[in-house]
Chains A and B, each alone.
Chain A
Amino acid sequence: MDNLYIQKVLNGDYTGFSYFVDKYKDMAYSIAFRIVNNSEDAEEIVQDSFVKSFKSLNKFRQDSKFSTWFYRIVVNNSLSKVKRRKFDSGNIDLENVSDIAIEEIESTYNHLTQTDQQKYINIALNQLNYEDSLLLTLYYLNENSLDEISEITEIKNENLKMKIHRARQKMYIVLEKELKSEIKNLL
């Protein structure tokens, strides 16, 4: 379907581009937000990325998915923004990682309302550095393959599995801490 609309746009019908806007804007926004951690900047990045992809659509070789190519543009634009603002990524200690009781987290998490679940997962992701947060978003939320993530992030494929695994552990450390304070508040 994407290829059909690409041809439509390349043939001069710019209105066909709204198909891509509707389909990819939210995921692009999620990706940009995970890197810049600011909604206004993320929205601006998504706009600029769409315009950039429209301008260079004739250079898109179609040997990968449009989404992979487009998300790469979003990541590049977001990283440029972060560099300009000297974004300081948080560090989470992985030393005590074996102590994490995921069953316990799952049990507590499942007792939360949907709104609270969303609140806590966003808190946890915001506390990770942008690379960890982005990898988790691409792998678990957008269900991209490792090859696609490698193309989007330019991280070598062989390192990705380990990075995703570590990112997941870091997320659970933060989530556990946040949920414990939630339980304390409830008691």
Chain B
Amino acid sequence: MDNTNVDNFTKEIISGSKLELSNPDFNKTLMDRIKTQNQKRIIYSNIKLYSFLFLTIDIAIIALLNLTGIRFSDIALKISFINRGFENFYSNPEQLTSIYFAVLFTVILMIKLFSRTGYSYLKTHEG
């Protein structure tokens, strides 16, 4: 028998060796695992995104504080005073109040910018 015929016969007989998965739950079990992996992937990418955002905001805050001449140690000092029972809360009320107002202003500004109301407000007052 020549090589081509042997090849054809081999192909023919080996086609009978094909195996099939007999477990009827195979696809469901596997797709459940894939779903879990997909959720993990989404969570992981969200963590990366939020970490990046928080880091950027932190850097921006540090830069802002440096520009305005407010030191971190000042804020930390104020917070520790507050924690000790407000006894020194008014030690330098101007500085502390300005920080609180700055934070409040930023929060309001962000709500204005990112909420639907804020967006509509900006659209209405455009021009």
Contact = CB atoms under 8 A, between A and B. Distances in A.
The answer to whether A and B come from one shared complex is: yes
Interface of A: 12, 14-15, 17-18, 21-22, 25-27, 29-30, 33, 43, 46-47, 50-51, 54-55, 102-103, 106, 109, 114, 117-118, 121-122, 125, 136-137, 140-141, 143, 168, 171, 175
Interface string B1-15: 100001001110111
B35 to A, nearest CB: 6
Contact of A26 (B16, B18, B35): B18
A30 B19 contact: yes
Contacts of B10: 136, 140, 168, 171
A47 B16 contact: no
Contacts of B41: 55
A56 B59 CA distance: 33
Contacts of B23: 43
Interface stretch (B24-32, B70-78, B87-95, B97-105): B24-32
B37 A102 contact: no
B15 A141 contact: yes
A118 B31 CA distance: 31
Nearest to B22: A39
A30 B17 contact: yes
Grouping DSSP codes into helix (H, G, I), strand (E, B) and loop, the B interface class, with mixed when no group exceeds half, is helix
Interface of B: 1, 6, 9-11, 13-21, 23, 26-27, 29-31, 33-35, 37-38, 41-42
Nearest to A171: B10
A21 B21 CA distance: 11
A179 to B, nearest CB: 11
B9 to A, nearest CB: 6
Contacts of B34: 14, 17, 50-51, 54
Sorted from nearest, which 6 A-B pairs have the closest CB atoms?
A: A14-B38, A140-B14, A118-B16, A30-B19, A121-B17, A140-B11
Contact of B26 (A25, A54, A136): A25
A170 B75 CA distance: 81
